[in-house]
Amino acid sequence: MPLLISAVSGKGGAGKTTAAILIAGEYALQGKRVLLIDADGRQNLQEWWRRCE
C-alpha cells in the first residue's frame, strides 16, 4: 500500500523541503520507491536536485 507524507505550512523557511528530502532519502536507502513533488512556487526542491547532480 502506498504511503503519502506531506509537509505543509504557510511559513517560509520552516524546513519543509529539507525534512521531505531527508525522509525520502531514508526510504530510498531502504530500497523503497520514492516520488517527491514540489508544489512550492520557489521550487526549492528542484534547485536542490540540480546542485546534487
Q: Is-contact 48 21, C-beta < 8 A?
A: yes
The answer to whether residue 15 sits within a structural domain is: no
pLDDT of residue 53: 63
User: Residue 20 contacts by C-beta under 8 Å, 6 or more apart in sequence?
Assistant: 5, 7, 36, 45
% of residues, the chain, pLDDT over 90: 21
pLDDT tops 90 at residue 45: no
The answer to whether residue 21 sits within a structural domain is: no
Mean pLDDT, range 21-47, rounded to an integer: 88
Q: How many domains does the chain have?
A: 1
Residues 20 and 51: their CA atoms lie apart, in Å, by 16
User: Residue 38 contacts by C-beta under 8 Å, 6 or more apart in sequence?
Assistant: 17, 44, 45, 46
The answer to whether residue 6 sits within a structural domain is: no
pLDDT tops 70 at residue 39: yes
pLDDT tops 70 at residue 17: yes
pLDDT of residue 38: 85
| Owning domain of residue 45 | 28-53
